[in-house]
């Protein structure tokens, strides 16, 4: 019985660490902590599909962070709210589903100051010596609301 409890404890710890990694992805984006994202969230290479028309394929963690840094630079605020985390563990690998809402604000936009994205993520992770890292990222956009171009 103690062995079963130990296995359950290990699985729970992995699930919490995986959700924490996903949470860091969104919080670090909102806080523009690009180096922290590269160092503690993403694997060195990510099978990446941002879901917004760019070609999917392998990207370096730095390329992803730099792209988001550039793409979000003109905004006054960014806020992600994520949840509905479902984690499927398989040893040192995991696939997670997450839903998120992202609000982008640009105070000087004339046609509405915000745009809102609603979508789902498929996030693949693997265990490293430094913790769980995202090595697969697929965004599935469901809804855009508001001033999509923030013009």
Per-residue pLDDT at 64 exceeds 90? yes
Show the domains of the chain with their CATH numbers: 2-146 (3.10.450.50)
Identify the weakest region by mean pLDDT among 1-5, 22-26, 56-60. 1-5
User: Hey, which residues does 116 pair with through a beta bridge?
Assistant: 103, 145
Rounded to two decimals, the pTM is 0.93
Residue 8's pLDDT is: 77
Per-residue pLDDT at 101 exceeds 90? yes
Residue 102's pLDDT is: 98
The overall average pLDDT reported for the chain is 95
The span from the CA of 40 to the CA of 75, in Å, is 24
Of the pLDDT bands very low, low, confident and very high (cuts 50, 70, 90), residue 53 is confident
| Cβ atoms 121, 143 nearer than 8 A | no
The span from the CA of 54 to the CA of 34, in Å, is 20
Residue 3's pLDDT is: 67
Residue 121's pLDDT is: 98
41-51: pLDDT as tens digits? 999 999 999 98
Per-residue pLDDT at 6 exceeds 80? no
SS (H, E, C) the chain: CHHHHHHHHHHHHHHHHHHHHHHHHHHHHHCCCHHHHHHHCEEEEEEEECCCCCCCEEEEHHHHHHHHHHHHCCCCEEEEEEEEEEEEEECCEEEEEEEEEEEEECCCCCCCCEEEEEEEEEEEEEEECCEEEEEEEEEEEEEEEECCCCC
């Amino acid at each position: 019985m103690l062995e079963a409890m130990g296995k359950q404890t290990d699985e729970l710890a992995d699930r919490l660490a995986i959700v924490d990694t996903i949470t860091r992805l969104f919080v670090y984006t909102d806080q523009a902590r690009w180096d922290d994202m590269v160092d503690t969230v993403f694997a060195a290479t990510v099978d990446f599909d941002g879901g917004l028309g760019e070609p999917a394929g392998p990207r370096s963690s730095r390329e992803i962070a730099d792209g988001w840094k550039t793409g979000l630079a003109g905004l006054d605020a960014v806020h992600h709210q994520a949840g509905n985390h479902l984690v499927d563990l398989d040893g040192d690998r995991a696939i997670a589903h997450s839903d998120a809402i992202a609000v982008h604000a640009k105070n000087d936009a004339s046609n509405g100051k915000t745009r809102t994205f609603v979508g789902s993520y498929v996030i693949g992770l693997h265990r490293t010596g430094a913790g769980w890292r995202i090595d697969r990222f697929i965004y599935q956009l469901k809804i855009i609301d508001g001033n999509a171009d923030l013009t």
